[in-house]
Structure 1
Amino acid sequence: MKNLLPKLWVFIAAVLFLPLLNAFEYDDYVWKSDNYGRSPQCMDIPEDLRLCFNVGYNQMLLPNLLEHETIAEVKQQAGSWVPLVHKACHPGTQVFLCSLFAPVCLDRPIYPCRWLCEAVRDSCTPIMQSFGFPWPEMLKCDKFPVGDVCIAMNNTNSDDMEKSPGVCPPCENEMNSETILEHMCGSEFAIKTKIKEVKIENLDRKIILQKKRKPVKPGTLKKQELKKLVLYLKNGANCTCQQLENLRSNYLIMGRGVGSQYILTGIHKWDKSSKELKKALKKLKSHTCPTYEAVFK
């Protein structure tokens, strides 16, 4: 069994979902049954499978197309991809992912088209790289079929696809308690501090912090590492991050180590009057993070 890294509508031939015919097209694709220890079975998509619940159909095949044999494993691995869908890097992201994690329950399963994989990969890789993650080998596009025998989406309007993401992903976080806690769970550490200086270094932004740094979630950071801590906003040279333009404010800064660097994964203004921030910090003391690795928070 592979240990895989980490809202959608899929085209379905069933009469109940005829309204989806204009959005998706598919045909049968041969089930690779020799990859699995048991025959695939239909089961209801559980509500806590956040990636694929309420996708336009109610049942999925298990084992799925990523060789997950239990729903617990599906939920653990699929959970890592929910933040990427929320980033809206491509309109077909959830279609592509759920066709693999929660394939529609038909006599013969269908795989995503190679071009859909390539489109999602090309649009979402910059977002993933900003958090220090490459496009995973398990989603290598050349293993998916070419042509009509696959799950696809109608071509997206080119004007929509050319829209710039604008805000750097770690900087676009909503200021509510649940979002803050999710970002905390997706980060190795969190500190309260001010920013001394921001420099452009190649395609990144180098964030130099003030000396006074208060650990909120120390994680594996040691005192000496905290003192020397410098963060990088990956691929952030040209995107907008308002938080990095006001160096007088205190910030809740989250990050994690990637290789020899520490990557910025989230930044919130430390507002003493914010009820949401207070609520998040209070909950943090007893909050249990999900078991999956929250990759793209």
Structure 2
Amino acid sequence: MRGCGGHLRPGLLPLGLLLVLSPGPALGDDYDYYSWQADPVEGPRGRAYSKPPQCLDIPPDLPLCHSVGYKRMRLPSLLAHESLAKVKQQASSWVPLLAKRCHADTQVFLCSLFAPVCLDRPIYPCRSLCESVRDACSPLMEAYGFPWPDMLHCHRFPLDNDLCIALRLAHPLPTDPPVTKICTQCEMEHSANGLMEQMCSSDFVVKMRIKEIKSENGHRKLIGAQKKKKLFKTGPLKRKDTKKLVLYMKNGEGCPCPQLDDLTGNFLIMGRKVQGQLLLTAIYRWEKKNKEMKFAVKFMSSYPCSLYYPFFSGTAEQH
């Protein structure tokens, strides 16, 4: 493959080579972005497009990729998005996952597809990069009721002996012994804005008491008390759901959740309904004097959510 500012030989493209040349600018800055040939246009894996590929600046309102390490991106994207508006819409759903830091190369992997670096030909992520990010991040996604999407199935990407974007470390350094980490659903968000975002991105929000907790197939099963429930957001919940709330904390059997050490008092619970099952996605002890919580709950009770958080959202029950 030949770039407009130099030559590249087939083989693995380490992350440090493709994204960050130090000292000096990112690789994308060294290329002439107006050298596209007027050949018949084919998209990823042979899909035909009506417009020739183009290069453009990664805009500031594309937060998933604006800080990825190069400044220019290629359209169509490698996920078949032909317009920047479509890229922005779809990429925004992955920003919350990026914030969870489940893998060091999550941004590189996702941006190689949503905002591919501008070269003469599309460069896909290596299969090993996909598999590494998937293995690290899919358990987190599943905890929120989201399976790894078909469009990111790793068999779609080239083997490491082809020209592709590799893991940052070809030979990962030894890792320390695993440390027991707080359950994802029990990580605390202390600001009102963060709480409001969590509420808006949940199917339902309820203040309730917890009667008991059981273990079931590696998950925690929370059984709500019959009385003293207050629904701030009902979403897809039906009458039978609210009569006796039973919530599942996915993969939560073996991780600590400080909020559940004491079941006395009320809890503020957020969740999603997936395939008829209620999944708990966030839990807080109810604190009357907590100003941030009080503000967020008042917001939820008084105003519709005007923001769209598609990754950890559930606008409709999934089947």
TM-score, length basis structure 1? 0.85
CA contact (8 A) 2:211 2:263 kept: yes
Aligned to 2:311: 294
Aligned to 2:225: 210
Deviation at 1:275, TM superposition (A): 1.9
Q: Indicate yes or no: 2:168 matched with 1:150.
A: no
CA contact (8 A) 2:236 2:273 kept: no
- Aligned partners of 1:70 and 1:33: how far apart in 2? 18
Out of 128, 133, 136, the position equivalent to 1:120 is 133
Q: 1:145 to 1:31 in 2, by over 3 A?
A: farther
Deviation at 1:237, TM superposition (A): 0.7
Aligned to 2:3: none
Where 2:21 maps in the other structure, the secondary structure is helix
Deviation at 1:228, TM superposition (A): 1.9
Q: Deviations over 1:18-63 (max 9, x none)?
A: 1289x99xxxxx9748424122212222222221122222221121
Out of 257, 261, 278, the position equivalent to 1:241 is 257
Q: 1:45 to 1:286 in 2, by over 3 A?
A: farther
The RMSD of aligned alpha carbons is 2.7
- Aligned partners of 2:144 and 2:304: how far apart in 1? 23
- Aligned partners of 2:140 and 2:66: how far apart in 1? 24
Deviation at 1:13, TM superposition (A): 5.1
Q: 1:283 to 1:230 in 2, by over 3 A?
A: same
TM-score, length basis structure 2? 0.79
Aligned to 2:194: 179
Matches within 5 A, 1:1-297: 11=16, 17-19=20-22, 32=44, 34-37=46-49, 38-147=51-160, 149-152=163-166, 153-154=168-169, 155-159=171-175, 163-164=178-179, 166-211=181-226, 212-284=228-300, 285-286=302-303, 288-291=305-308, 293-295=310-312
- Aligned partners of 1:95 and 1:20: how far apart in 2? 20
Q: Deviations over 1:119-149 (max 9, x none)?
A: 1111222112212222211111111111251
Aligned to 1:3: none
Which amino acid in 2 is paired with 1:19? Answer: S
Higher relative contact order (CA 8 A, sep 6+): 1
CA contact (8 A) 1:185 1:294 kept: no
Find the structure with the greater CA-based Rg.
2
- Aligned partners of 1:268 and 1:130: how far apart in 2? 17
* Count of residue correspondences: 280
Which amino acid in 2 is paired with 1:221? Answer: L
CA contact (8 A) 1:76 1:292 kept: no
Which amino acid in 2 is paired with 1:244? Answer: L
Q: 1:260 to 1:296 in 2, by over 3 A?
A: closer
Q: 1:186 to 1:36 in 2, by over 3 A?
A: farther
- Aligned partners of 2:118 and 2:212: how far apart in 1? 54
Where 1:104 maps in the other structure, the secondary structure is coil
Deviation at 1:232, TM superposition (A): 0.2
5+ residue gaps, structure 1, are 1-8, 25-29
Deviation at 1:276, TM superposition (A): 1.4
CA contact (8 A) 1:177 1:279 kept: yes
- Aligned partners of 1:46 and 1:218: how far apart in 2? 36
Deviation at 1:164, TM superposition (A): 4.2
Deviation at 1:12, TM superposition (A): 5.5
CA contact (8 A) 1:31 1:109 kept: no
CA contact (8 A) 1:173 1:179 kept: no
- Aligned partners of 2:222 and 2:266: how far apart in 1? 14
Deviation at 1:255, TM superposition (A): 0.9
